Amino acid sequence: MPNWKEYPPPSRPVAMGVNGMVSSAHSLASLAGLQVLTEGGNAFDAATSVAATLGVVEPYMSGPGGIGLALAYVARERRTRVLNFSGRAPMAAEPSRFTPESKQTGILAALVPGNVAGWLTLHETYGSLDRRRLLQPAIDYAENGFPVSDFNSRIFAEQVPRVSRYPASASILLDRDGRPPLPGSLFRMPRLAGSLRKIAEGGKDVFYRGELAAEVVQGVRAMGGLLSESDLAEYEPQWQEPIRISYRGYEVLTTPPNSSGFQILQTLKLMESFEGRDLSFQHPDTIHALMEAIKLCVTDRIRYGGDPDYVAAPLEGLLSEGYAARQRQRIDKKSVSVVAGEHYVGQSPPGALEPGSLEDFEGGMTTHFAVADRDGNVVSVTQTLGGRFGSAVAVGETGIFLNNMCYWFDLEKGSPNLIGPGKRVDFVLAPTHTYRDGRFFLSMGTPGGWGILQTTVQLLMNVLDFGMDLQQAIEAPRFRYYAGKRVEMEERFPLQLRRALAAMGHEVDILDAWSLFVGAAHAVQADQDRGVFHGGADSRRDGLALGW
């Protein structure tokens, strides 16, 4: 394994602490979580506070109108649990009611929001502090304002044409002259503050069955949307068991379907047997093998991903040693295969990869954060509105932007992810935990659309295979494969590497040096023997890791 000095130094050191660690995509959210820990709260309390605060200081990424997933190690139970709060399609969501445009932007695009149910279920099940205390930072920043960063300002500005189509949304984002917030200014969202205050006082009931539910449904109906009182009232998040694989002596866990996290685990299994020159950081042979493995696993994910109530993904086979060995034989070290793309298409291009055979085996924009406490609890949450500002619709006077997660459903008959009444969408949120010798070792996750399933593999390999610290692993350049032979790579990859890949047949496009198209990861690591936490945060966003 290479020495850490062989890698470029990170832009900042790894955060360290002995009592707890918080890593999120915004400094104010990380601070909110750390303050909860210092006041005696546990990781579940802190996660609730971080999640709600991120919905304010990154209002385009998540919020009460969004959905998400949590992967949590519960120390007192010595087990890892998944909380799925990914929402459901409205019961009126028949495929014929949608077009590709309406399922992306506008009032038809929203699933039942799951975030509020997720945040508060985590707290009610395992938290210890008062709910009002945990939501207070989010309320304060929404009411009194938070300083707009350059990153905030760029996204605000680029979303003006989309958001300004809806008066209630435009009144939140734009000033009286129609301008978005500038860097360094204070941005206030008093209507959102009012909604968060109602949630702090009334809990889940006020959002799903009470005053806020009535306001949301009234606003949706006024715009011709599909969400009903019963859609909200009947929604409950679901506790699930994680899925897992062994990988080079580690155990890697992630979230089960309707999450597409199995693609991450599949890819790792394909890469597990590579060694020597075939497993060398930024060696053309290693990068080529990883790209080809990703394409094989994307193809399987498109075939088998969907709501597990309707589609039974054969996970035992997909994650088996035998299937990985067979799929690995399909990787040609000298040539490049064609992949149909990142999601279902009715007609694949000529020569595109087909899913592997399992007969012989039985068997937008998003945000991610992680919290660990002194008792050993670790909570990792990935939450989203889908696209930036979700559907672009803020309903009524609530100040709440609704998600556009209907975009992730397909409209083509034959897709296992076809939209339908009450269905859960096949989606890409997939936080991961890694364990060594039965003890927690690493929590890592990222936003990035379908790229999440590619970026997370690269991040994990940077730590588990190449021995990087968290900050180095997060800052290392990343790539993302699309359709055909097209791959996008951050320009910090060495020129000779990019040329070697192009000579093999990969069609290499260059991204900015620090590109949002390859995600923005956050991670927490535990050195169990020394009793020290490490935290890493992505400089591609406003991320910060804080320990104490």
pLDDT one-digit tens code per residue, 87-126: 999 999 999 999 999 999 999 999 999 999 999 999 999 9
Alpha-carbon gap, residue 322 to 247, rounded angstroms: 14
B/e letters for 166-196, b = 16+ CB within 10 Å, e = fewer, are: bebbbbbbbeeeeebbeeeeebbbebbbbbb
Question: What are the DSSP calls for 337-352, one per residue?
Answer: -BB--SS--SSPPTTB
* Residue 475: partners with Cβ closer than 8 Å, 6 or more residues away: 8, 10, 11, 538, 539
Q: Which residues contact 51 (CB under 8 A, 6 or more apart)?
A: 62, 68, 115, 118, 119, 369, 381, 383
Does residue 258 have a cis peptide bond before it, meaning omega lies within 30 degrees of 0?
A: yes
Query: What residue spans of 209-335 are helical by DSSP H?
Result: 211-222, 229-233, 262-271, 284-304, 315-318, 321-328
Amino acid at 379: V
Place of tokens 């009012």: 194
- Measured CA to CA, the distance from residue 501 to residue 481 in angstroms comes to 13
Give the sheet arrangement for strand 439-445, strand by strand. Answer: 15-17, 532-537, 522-527, 439-445, 432-436, 250-254, 243-247
* Alpha helices per DSSP H over 127-189: 131-144, 150-158, 160-163, 167-173
Q: What are the distances in angstroms from CA 494 to CA 60, 333, 484?
A: 33, 20, 23
Q: Is 255 a catalytic residue?
A: no
Cβ-in-10-Å burial (0-12, 13-18, 19+) of 502 comes to middle
Pick the catalytic residue from 267, 366, 434, 446: 366
Q: What is the DSSP string of 462-497?
A: HHHTT---HHHHHHS--EEE-SBTEEEEETTS-HHH
- Residue 107's region, left for phi above 0, alpha for psi from -120 to 50, else beta, is alpha
Q: How far apart are CA 492 and CA 477, in angstroms?
A: 6
Q: Is there a contact between 410 and 183 (Cβ–Cβ < 8 Å)?
A: no
Q: Could you give the strand order of the β-sheet that contains 486-490, starting from the edge strand earlier in sequence?
A: 479-481, 486-490, 507-511
Distance CA(475)–CA(446), nearest Å, equals 13
- Which amino acid appears at position 144 of this protein? N
Residue 261: helix, strand or coil by DSSP? Answer: coil
pLDDT, position 6:
64
CB 159 within 8 Å of CB 394: no
Q: Which residues of the chain are modeled with pLDDT < 50?
A: 1-5, 344, 354-363
Q: Reduced to 3 states, what is the DSSP secondary structure of residue 147?
A: strand
- pLDDT of 418 reads 94
Taking only the tens place, the pLDDT of each residue in 460-503 is 999 999 999 999 999 999 999 988 999 999 999 999 999 999 99
From the list 10, 30, 20, the residue with the least C-alpha distance to 542 is 30
DSSP 63-124: -TT-EEEEEEEEGGGTEEEEEEE-----TT--GGG--TTTTTSSGGGPPPP-HHHHHHHHHH
CA atoms within 13 A on the CB side of 2: 20
pLDDT tens sequence across 59-84: 999 999 999 999 999 999 999 999 99
Residue 342 confidence (pLDDT):
58
* Residue 324 CB neighbours (<10 A): 24
Q: How many CB atoms lie within 10 A of CB 344?
A: 21
Within 10 angstroms of residue 161's Cβ, the number of other Cβ atoms is: 9
Angle value at C-alpha 425, between 424 and 428, nearest 5 degrees: 130
Say if CB 337 and CB 380 are below 8 A apart.
no
